[in-house]
Amino acid sequence: MHDVATQPRPAGTSATPLLEATGINKSFGPVHVLHDVDFAVYPGTVTALIGDNGAGKSTLIKCIAGIHSTDTGTLRFDGEDVAIGNPRDAFDLGIKVVYQDLALCDNLDIVQNMFLGREILRRGVLDEHAMEMSARQTLASLSVRTVKSVRQPVASLSGGQRQTVAIAKAVLGHSRLVVLDEPTAALGVAQTAQVLDLVRRLADSGVGVVIISHNMNDVLEVADRVCAMYLGRIAADLPKDAGMSRETLVELITSGRSGSFGLVDGIVE
């Protein structure tokens, strides 16, 4: 139906993709939101998903996270066909999504938030000590150095710290693929650096990371691959070293093509 002009697969692609979505179509009533979308995430890499509002980024993510079902197309996880029918399926596979609004309880502390809904119990009673130790361990493994006490309520944390807690909550326990929806949208410069640093470390630990962002500087800084969506299609799927610049990315977002990259035939149907 349409061609993706660039096919040089990124470095490290000899490995099987952690998640491979092929030919995904999704309509809401008469609105065809996703057109034959192919999307892959590799372990240990950061894939940036960019695109204008309404390009289909969120819908694609929600299909992966089990919130929406797909109309057609296959999802492969670790090289095996999987059906992700609900958020629980995605969670069990180790797919974790950190939404933009973070969804933390301000009145609970960091440990309580991280373990919310999967508290550790001992003889039917909350095992605070085990949860605290495990929370500290998870934060330490992410090299989080900005939290002085895991017992402070989330209300007292800065934006960057809250994002950190939300990410730590997502990766707590079994996690293979972490999707971050605009993790730096509300943050200042220093805190953005903090969070991007964390994203990098997360990928270095072998987790596949997808980051949705409107900030091209962030994308260029942290992503190993960039996936640009335009009107429900994948306009480009490029490794970082394919010579992209800020301008390339912006053109891909706004018109679906840029130089030799992007959709070849007309996009408007």
Nearer to another protein, 20 or 109 (CB): 109
Torsion of CA 65, 69, 73, 79, to 10 degrees: 40
Q: CB count, 10 Å around CB of 169?
A: 23
Distance CA 10, CA 21 (A): 17
The label of the residue with tokens 């040089």 reads 8
Q: Which of 11, 15, 83, 116 lies at the binding interface for another protein (CB under 8 A)?
A: 116
Closest listed residue to residue 222, CA positions, set 6, 45, 97:
45
Binding span for another protein by CB under 8 A among 1-9, 120-128, 171-179, 228-236: 120-128
**CB of residue 142 vs another protein: minimum separation in angstroms?**
10
Distance CA 183, CA 163 (A): 7
Provide the CA 130 distance to its chain's centre, in angstroms. 29
Nearer to another protein, 40 or 98 (CB): 98
Dihedral sign (CA 105, 106, 112, 113)? positive
> The tokens of 71 are what?
């109309």
Binding span for another protein by CB under 8 A among 75-83, 112-120, 234-242, 253-261: 112-120
Nearer to another protein, 65 or 216 (CB): 65
**CB of residue 193 vs another protein: minimum separation in angstroms?**
14
Q: Which of 81, 117, 189, 268 lies at the binding interface for another protein (CB under 8 A)?
A: 117
Q: Which of 118, 188, 243, 259 lies at the binding interface for another protein (CB under 8 A)?
A: 118
- Return the percent helix, strand and coil in the chain, to nearest 5: 30, 30, 40
Nearer to another protein, 22 or 99 (CB): 99
Nearer to another protein, 16 or 152 (CB): 152
Binding span for another protein by CB under 8 A among 31-39, 101-109, 180-188, 221-229: 101-109
Number of H helices, E strands in the chain: 8, 14
Name the 3-class secondary structure at 143.
coil
Binding span for another protein by CB under 8 A among 39-47, 51-59, 116-124, 180-188: 116-124
Distance CA 5, CA 242 (A): 13
Contact mark string toward another protein, 127..166, x via CB under 8 A: -xx--x---x--xx---xxxxxxxxxx-xxxx--x-----
Nearer to another protein, 124 or 266 (CB): 124
**CB of residue 78 vs another protein: minimum separation in angstroms?**
24
> The tokens of 5 are what?
């002009």
Q: In what order do the strands lie in the sheet with 19-28?
A: 31-41, 19-28, 72-77, 80-82
* Site for another protein, rule CB under 8 A: 99, 101-109, 112-113, 116-119, 121, 124-126, 128-129, 132, 136, 139-140, 144-153, 155-158, 161
